[in-house]
Structure 1
Amino acid sequence: MKVFKYLLIFFLSIGVAITTWVFYPQYQIQKMKNESMEVGKDLSRETYLEYYRQSKKQDIHHLAIGDSIIHGFGVDETENLVYSFSNLLGQKINKTVHYNNKGINGMTSSGLNELVQEGNLDEDIRKADIITINIGGNDVLKTARNQDYYAAINSFDTLQSTFTKNLTNISDKIKEINPKATIVFLELYNPLPADHQLSDLADSLLPKWNVKIYEVAQHIPSSIVIQTTKVINGNNPQNLSSDGVHPNPAGYAAITEQMLVQFAKEYRKQAV
């Protein structure tokens, strides 16, 4: 009976550990999302949309840095994320939003961090009112080259640690140069179709990765994390291009709409 008791305790402990490992990051993300959506009692708080609408500036500058999602791989310029968001935001706030697309196909978080730290983007950062960042996907994809997704999964902790350090350094540098800019982070999404053998595992790992983005954002006075996973996921294959990785025109449009929805609902914290 003692052996059975100890075995039961052992397996229960394993079950609790697995449940915590899988679901706690999701709980953390939801908690941080809720905090960003809180209205509170301060009626003077403004949504991001209202903030830019009420700004004395008639020209808003939008800088976008990162990888091929920013660059707009596979679509025309007028269909990419940076152009679409800048154009529609301008219409909603009745101002001109100038966009500066510095996305580079194949860019990793290490590569972007190096670019930022070397000062190559200092002037662009200094001029920007909004800075959008999408990075991290290639950290995983380059490890999973030749469709070896298992290699990426086995290296997950190392990849995530490097990514978090890079994103923190990039954000710190931006804050140093332009503390008043709004930084817009995009969640990493899972492009695997729902019937892929690793789709469920990828979905369980994704919150562990994205929670680091939310944690970095929490240390930035004015920042917002776009819930890309709401519109790009295994249940919305119509938003992915034929390569199975990048958004198609519908996918970029869906991310743009998600950005505008959150700009209209979430409250901007004051920079200090």
Structure 2
Amino acid sequence: MWRFGILTFLTIVLAGCSFITIDDPQPKEEEQNEPYAEPEQLINETPKIEISEVEEGSIEEQTNLQGFIEAVLHLDWRTRKNSDAEPIQYMAFGDSLTRGIGDESKQYGYTNRLVEVLERWPAITEVELDNRGKNGRRSDQLLKLLESGHYDEELPYVDFMTMTLGGNDIMKIVKADLFSLNKEMFDKELISFEARYRNIVAEIRARNSDAPLLLIGFYNPVSIITDEYTPFETIIDEWNDVIAQIATEDVNACFVPISDLFETNEGMVYHTDFFHPNASGYEQMTGRIIDYMKLCDIEQMSAGRIGIEE
């Protein structure tokens, strides 16, 4: 706030430097009825004002003030970026939510929207996005890719990561035995899911130990089909709780809950498949991610490289 106050004050000062006041008293009442002067007369009677010295002084003063702002506030006058602003590498892992399936605006869901927000932050010059999301991807598939070294070349140089997983692990159970589902089936699979998820984070950290990692939860699309309570609410909550717990065990990880954003379709957040978010849904996801980046202090996690907008 103090930087904003100083900048506002100096802006007013700079603006004031460019003003030149010319006294132009109103004509006397009796002169208002006089006929219009001839063009030559108007030219001859135009007052001559010497402003070159004022302009030169104004320019010099503006230059000095701009230099002061850049030096004290560490602000680039042209780009409005911090003088030490840097580009960052962003890698997104996960399933169809990371890929952006359902986004009719073709912005790849939350990932491109997140890039647009981050590139407005003063500590970041640009964000290079590497979106590795794939429709239908499960935790066992991503773990296999990590263990095989599929991301070894890129991961050490990544500055920031997000991940969405879990929805397809649950859907695999549903599809396997749709007509004889019971909660015990999901509880049993949750144990395996937790082990795989932990191994995924461990594999990522073995290649990149410091970059902030946002572990994004998932939601229950069945909730918009029926108004009645179903066991899926409890199942989704328990699986999200496991992801949240894993996030607390990593000093540079943060859990982002999104299930409440998709409890109903009152805000028209679902795609026409009633399973994936639409553009509006991804907008809300992006907003939630930004909120939790601030809540989890992403600036401290990244040692200042991802400085939050002031």
Does TM-score exceed 0.5, indicating one fold?
Answer: yes
The corresponding residue for 1:213 is: 243
Q: Distance in 1 between matches of 2:182 and 2:193?
A: 13
The corresponding residue for 1:62 is: 90
Contact 1:63 1:102 in 2 (8 A): yes
Is it true that 1:164 corresponds to 2:183 in the alignment? Answer: no
Contact 1:193 1:237 in 2 (8 A): no
- Correspondences of 1:99-248 after superposition (within 5 Å): 99-145=129-175, 148=178, 151=181, 153-194=183-224, 196=226, 199-234=229-264, 236=266, 238-248=268-278
SS of the residue 1:161 aligns to: helix
> What RMSD in Å do the two structures reach over aligned CA positions?
2.6
Contact 1:240 1:251 in 2 (8 A): yes
Cα displacement string for residues 109-129 of structure 1 (whole angstroms, at most 9, x for unaligned residues):
100110111110122221211
Q: Which runs of 4+ in 1 moved over 6 A?
A: none
Q: Distance in 1 between matches of 2:189 and 2:171?
A: 11
Report the TM-score when normalising by structure 2: 0.64
Letter in 1 for 2:253: S
Task: Please identify the structure whose Cα radius of gyration is greater.
Answer: 2
The corresponding residue for 1:38 is: none
Q: Distance in 1 between matches of 2:235 and 2:132?
A: 29
Q: Distance in 2 between matches of 1:131 and 1:55?
A: 25
Match for residue 111 of structure 2 among 67, 74, 82: 82
Q: Distance in 1 between matches of 2:199 and 2:83?
A: 29
Query: Which protein, 1 or 2, shows the higher relative CO under an 8 Å CA cutoff with sep ≥ 6?
Result: 1
Structure 2, unaligned stretches of length 5 or more?
1-80, 303-310
Q: Distance in 2 between matches of 1:185 and 1:177?
A: 17
Could you say which structure has the higher helix fraction? 1
Q: Distance in 2 between matches of 1:229 and 1:254?
A: 11
Letter in 2 for 1:71: R
Structure 1, unaligned stretches of length 5 or more?
1-52
Residue 188 of structure 1 and its aligned partner are, at CA, apart by 1.7
The corresponding residue for 2:121 is: 92
Letter in 2 for 1:90: E
Q: Which is further off, 230-239 or 256-265?
A: 230-239
Q: Percent identity?
A: 23
